[in-house]
Amino acid sequence: MAKLTEIGWEEFSALPLEAKRGYLTRAEGDGMPYHTLFAQQFDRELLERLCALANRIRFINKSKEGALYLKTVLAHRRAMLYFSQPSSRTFLSHLAACQILGITTGSVRDAATSSEFKGETKEDSIRTFSSYFDMIIMRSPEQGLAEKMAWELSNSDRPVPILNAGSGKDQHPTQALLDIYTLMRSFETKGGIDGRTVVFCGDLLRGRTVRSLSYLLTNFRDVRQVFVAPQELHVPEDVVETLKSKGVDYALVGDLREAVKEADAVYMTRIQDEWDSSKGASARIDTSRFKFGAEELALLKPDGVILHPLPRRDEIATCCDHDPRAMYWRQMRNGMWIRAALIAATFGHERAIMDCGY
Ligand code: NCD
């Protein structure tokens, strides 16, 4: 089995993502991730196992006895939430997932309140967190930082797992897991995700959830991916290259209404203007045709679903919120279950939870 202690940082960081996977799995050989850094770590078998575990945790948690059992599973562990970028859902759902499993948590949400403000390097900060905690859940504006920290920690005398809760414009693997879990649940009794058409709309250039989810969907059979965006914000080349190399049926288009007609799922995203190179650059792009409202809803199949990683601005009209096809609220709660599943599996508790008597 490949080990991060046996490869230098330069050599590791230059590997293609899929080749990095082997270095990030648990040494115990159950195939589950130790560090979770990007979507390329998950194949279909792993996705199905995690979704099954999330279902199991959701079910067990319904009774008081079950919930109390879950709270014992990782009661001896502590997790650090290190979020140096704004977050509501991702922060709170990881926190709630830890609470479900009995994990005690600590957090830094603003680098200005930590010693980074005094000039400490991020490497030293992370090494500090790992002295007190058994897992670090981190969000950062810096692409690749989670990966660097994972390598650093695995090469330290106190390795602890890193869970990437959003890295720059790059990846958001746990969001993609919850998106897949939501799709699985939405199509559970209707033949699953295979053969579906998923339409992505909005800022596809800078939306990290799009890159991660687009990759995870390549694990399913005959899923068509349709990307709808203003020309300036269209899906980046690396995503297209991945789809090409995997023989995925995809299209880049500009007309949301046409795309909605063929969609089984519509994944709306907001304009990520925090990445604008000059102030107000995104505001000058005409995004008016990339919003989902009553007209689009009328075109959506009766069993189609609408997803959104949230937060939303005006890209989904509130008049859609009570339609049974609006899945974004349930999607949010699904995040708590799949994150609890991932954390439990990271610590090697998949089998124990699957086989427990509750
Ligand atoms: C997303 C993110 O942070 O990338 N939000 C989230 O984690 N639910 C999407 C966004 O901010 O638009």
State whether 127 and 208 are in the same domain.
no
State whether 119 and 260 are in the same domain.
no
Nearest atom in ligand 1 to 207's CA: 4
State whether 70 and 105 are in the same domain.
yes
Q: Evaluate: CB of 202 within 6 angstroms of ligand 1.
A: no
State whether 91 and 69 are in the same domain.
yes
Q: What percent of the chain is predicted at pLDDT more than 70?
A: 100
Rounded CA-CA distance 352/50 in Å is: 14
Structural domains in the chain (count): 2
Burial class (CB in 10 A: 0-12, 13-18, 19+), 129: buried
Q: Evaluate: CB of 310 within 6 angstroms of ligand 1.
A: yes
Q: Are 36 and 174 in contact (CB under 8 A)?
A: yes
Residue nearest to atom 6 of ligand 1 (CA): 309
State whether 141 and 193 are in the same domain.
no
Rounded CA-CA distance 265/224 in Å is: 11
Residue nearest to atom 11 of ligand 1 (CA): 311
SS (H, E, C) 233-293: HCCCHHHHHHHHHCCCCEEEECCHHHHHHHCCEEEECCCCHHHCCCCCCHHHCCCCCCCEC
State whether 110 and 177 are in the same domain.
no
Q: Evaluate: CB of 334 within 6 angstroms of ligand 1.
A: no
Binned at pLDDT 50, 70 and 90, residue 118 comes out as: confident
Span from the CA of 56 to the centroid of ligand 1 (angstroms): 26
* Within-domain flag for 356: no
* Within-domain flag for 34: yes
3-state secondary structure (DSSP) of residue 41: helix
pLDDT per residue as tens digits for the range 223-279: 999 999 999 999 999 999 999 999 999 999 999 999 999 999 999 999 999 999 999
State whether 163 and 195 are in the same domain.
no
Span from the CA of 271 to the centroid of ligand 1 (angstroms): 11
Nearest atom in ligand 1 to 209's CA: 4
> 86 is in which domain, residue-wise?
4-170+334-351
Query: Regarding beta strands 104-108 and 224-228, do their DSSP bridges make them parallel or antiparallel, or are they unpaired?
Result: unpaired
State whether 231 and 149 are in the same domain.
no
- Give the CATH number, domain containing residue 159: 3.40.50.1370
Span from the CA of 122 to the centroid of ligand 1 (angstroms): 22
User: Exposure pattern of 45-73 as b/e (b: 16+ CB <10 Å)?
Assistant: ebbebbbebbbbbbebbeeeebeebbeeb
State whether 196 and 338 are in the same domain.
no
* Within-domain flag for 357: no
- In this prediction, residue 352 carries a pLDDT of 98
Nearest atom in ligand 1 to 139's CA: 3
* Within-domain flag for 38: yes
As given in the structure block, the two tokens for residue 89 are 């859902």
Nearest atom in ligand 1 to 272's CA: 12
State whether 286 and 314 are in the same domain.
yes
Q: Evaluate: CB of 309 within 6 angstroms of ligand 1.
A: yes
State whether 280 and 210 are in the same domain.
yes
State whether 262 and 324 are in the same domain.
yes
Residue nearest to atom 7 of ligand 1 (CA): 90
Residues identified as active-site = 89-90, 118, 139, 172
* Within-domain flag for 87: yes
Mean pLDDT, residues 165-191 taken together: 97
Mean pLDDT, residues 155-165 taken together: 97
pLDDT per residue as tens digits for the range 193-214: 999 999 999 999 999 999 999 9
Q: Evaluate: CB of 84 within 6 angstroms of ligand 1.
A: no
